[in-house]
């Protein structure tokens, strides 16, 4: 038998949920090994696909955060995570939170698919300023933005804004390491149960073998692939494309403190637009990012299709859909370039993250449903609590 590392808990996946789970476990004194590959950057990836390649859903530079959420249960979990951002930044020395606030624009009746998110702000008593349809006084503060006069606009102030997902993971992992946890850069290619009460053997692409009493599977969109789980969990993957509009250095400075945007637009080709102000990307340039569900989205059902989606450049038809809406939101901003990037959203049947014991000693933590980043610290904490109690 090959040499084996042993540990109490292996966390498969060093993404948003996994890095949080590993940090909470290590902070509780649990011996933990977290295993996951480096983040793939679609702009710099190779065109070749290894049979086990996996990708993350946090592969760009900003994720919206706010107290307003899709329902009360989501809002409570997100609020718990938001409350702890500052402590996490202070303890790790890694900044990831930009509290620029969030503008939410919706018709008073929602868009026919989604209810009016501003009603949720009112119902939960979340502090906000409201500007009814036709009241454009908000434009005095954010003159470069535009919304249709049919839409009411609410401003949710700090701590709403955005987080930088890779930096949040770096904060979590700084602390996991400091707590004695181990981080391995590798891809898991099999999780094998060793028999009742005997734990698990985890095998990796690089030929490592790790034995553990328990496993947390936090592999995002790739949970049902690579032999990680005996019985697949009920997940629907959906392709998502974001457009990045490059802004000049002068506009970067001027727009940097503009709020994030959640916008229930009208129209059949885009649904539920979200946007961040200019953020610096690894290529040294600053981009406004906008995303939405589009009429071109598809549902990859197997590993090869999901891999191809991440490795293949998104074609111009996405840009044709997204670019006009981005420009309409910033009527006088001159974007110096545009690019699109692929991602995948992982949905569960009840549209709530799946944090559950799937087999004795194995907890699954996945199903961010397109909104899991902002509360990831709390979702990971739940997975850690659950595995300790299993």
Ligand X SMILES: Cc1cc2nc3c(=O)[nH]c(=O)nc-3n(C[C@H](O)[C@H](O)[C@H](O)COP(=O)(O)OP(=O)(O)OC[C@H]3O[C@@H](n4cnc5c(N)ncnc54)[C@H](O)[C@@H]3O)c2cc1C
Taking the CA atoms of 207, 7, 176 and 68 in sequence, report the sign of the dihedral they define: positive
Judged by beta carbon, residue 314 or residue 366, the one nearer ligand X is 366
Q: Given the structure tokens 């959640």, which residue do they identify? A: 262
Containing H/E element for 162?
A: strand 161-163
Smallest gap, in angstroms, from Cβ of residue 168 to ligand X? Answer: 10
Smallest gap, in angstroms, from Cβ of residue 330 to ligand X? Answer: 18
Smallest gap, in angstroms, from Cβ of residue 131 to ligand X? Answer: 23
Judged by beta carbon, residue 50 or residue 320, the one nearer ligand X is 50
Judged by beta carbon, residue 318 or residue 331, the one nearer ligand X is 318
Q: How many degrees, rounded to 5, is the angle at CA 208 between CA 202 and CA 212?
A: 35
Compute the distance between CA of residue 105 and CA of residue 209 in angstroms, rounded to an integer.
51
DSSP-assigned states of every residue in 233-261: ---EEEEEEEEEEE--HHHHHHHTTPPEE
Judged by beta carbon, residue 150 or residue 185, the one nearer ligand X is 185
Smallest gap, in angstroms, from Cβ of residue 149 to ligand X? Answer: 26
Smallest gap, in angstroms, from Cβ of residue 124 to ligand X? Answer: 17
Judged by beta carbon, residue 63 or residue 128, the one nearer ligand X is 63
DSSP-assigned states of every residue in 84-153: HHHHHHHHH----EE---EEEEE-TTTTSSS--HHHHHHHTT---EEE-TT--GGGGTSTT----TTSEE
**What does each C-alpha distance from 122 to 5, 82, 102 come to in angstroms?**
52, 19, 15
Taking the CA atoms of 295, 297, 299 and 300 in sequence, report the sign of the dihedral they define: positive
Judged by beta carbon, residue 30 or residue 33, the one nearer ligand X is 33
Compute the distance between CA of residue 226 and CA of residue 349 in angstroms, rounded to an integer.
22
Judged by beta carbon, residue 139 or residue 170, the one nearer ligand X is 170
Q: Given the structure tokens 């624009």, which residue do they identify? A: 105
Contact indicator for 9, 213 with CB cutoff of 8 Å: yes
**Which residues contact ligand X by CB under 6 A?**
12-18, 35-37, 54-58, 63-64, 187-188, 218-220, 222, 226, 228, 240, 242, 274, 291, 343-345, 366, 368, 370-374, 376
Smallest gap, in angstroms, from Cβ of residue 303 to ligand X? Answer: 10
Cis peptide before 159, with omega less than 30 degrees from 0? yes
Smallest gap, in angstroms, from Cβ of residue 367 to ligand X? Answer: 7
């Amino acid at each position: 038998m090959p040499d084996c590392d042993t540990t109490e808990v292996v966390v498969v996946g060093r993404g948003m949920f996994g890095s949080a789970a590993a940090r909470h476990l290590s902070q509780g004194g649990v011996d933990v090994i977290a295993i996951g590959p480096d983040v793939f950057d679609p702009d710099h990836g190779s065109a070749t696909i290894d049979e086990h390649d996996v990708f993350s859903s946090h592969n760009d530079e900003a994720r919206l955060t706010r107290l307003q959420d899709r329902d009360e249960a989501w809002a409570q979990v997100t609020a718990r995570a938001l409350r702890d951002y500052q402590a996490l930044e202070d303890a790790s020395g890694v900044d990831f939170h930009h509290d620029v606030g969030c503008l939410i624009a919706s018709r008073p009746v929602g868009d026919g698919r989604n209810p009016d998110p501003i009603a949720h702000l009112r119902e939960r008593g979340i502090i906000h300023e409201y500007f009814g349809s036709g009241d454009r006084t908000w434009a005095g503060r954010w003159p470069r933005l535009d919304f249709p006069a049919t839409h009411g606009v609410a401003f949710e102030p700090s701590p709403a804004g955005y987080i930088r997902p890779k930096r949040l993971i770096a904060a979590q992992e700084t602390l996991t390491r400091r707590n004695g946890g181990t981080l391995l850069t590798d891809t898991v290619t099999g999780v094998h149960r060793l028999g009742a009460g005997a734990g698990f053997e985890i095998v990796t692409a690089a030929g490592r073998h790790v034995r553990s009493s328990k496993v947390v599977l936090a592999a995002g969109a790739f949970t049902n692939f690579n032999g990680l789980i005996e019985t697949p969990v009920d997940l629907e993957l959906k392709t998502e494309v974001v457009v990045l509009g490059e802004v000049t250095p002068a506009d970067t400075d001027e727009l940097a403190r503009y709020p994030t945007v959640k916008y229930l637009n009208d129209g059949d080709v885009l649904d539920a637009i979200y946007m961040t102000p200019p953020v610096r990307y690894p290529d040294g340039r600053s981009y406004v990012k906008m995303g939405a569900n589009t009429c071109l989205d598809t549902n990859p059902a197997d590993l090869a299709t999901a891999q191809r989606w991440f490795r293949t450049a998104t074609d111009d038809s996405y840009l044709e859909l997204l670019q006009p809406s981005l420009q309409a939101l910033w009527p006088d901003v001159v974007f110096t370039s545009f690019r699109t990037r692929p991602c995948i959203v992982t949905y569960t049947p009840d549209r709530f993250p799946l944090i559950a014991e799937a087999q004795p000693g194995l907890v699954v933590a996945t199903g961010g449903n397109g909104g899991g980043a902002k509360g990831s610290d709390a979702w990971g904490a739940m997975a850690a609590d659950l595995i300790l109690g299993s």
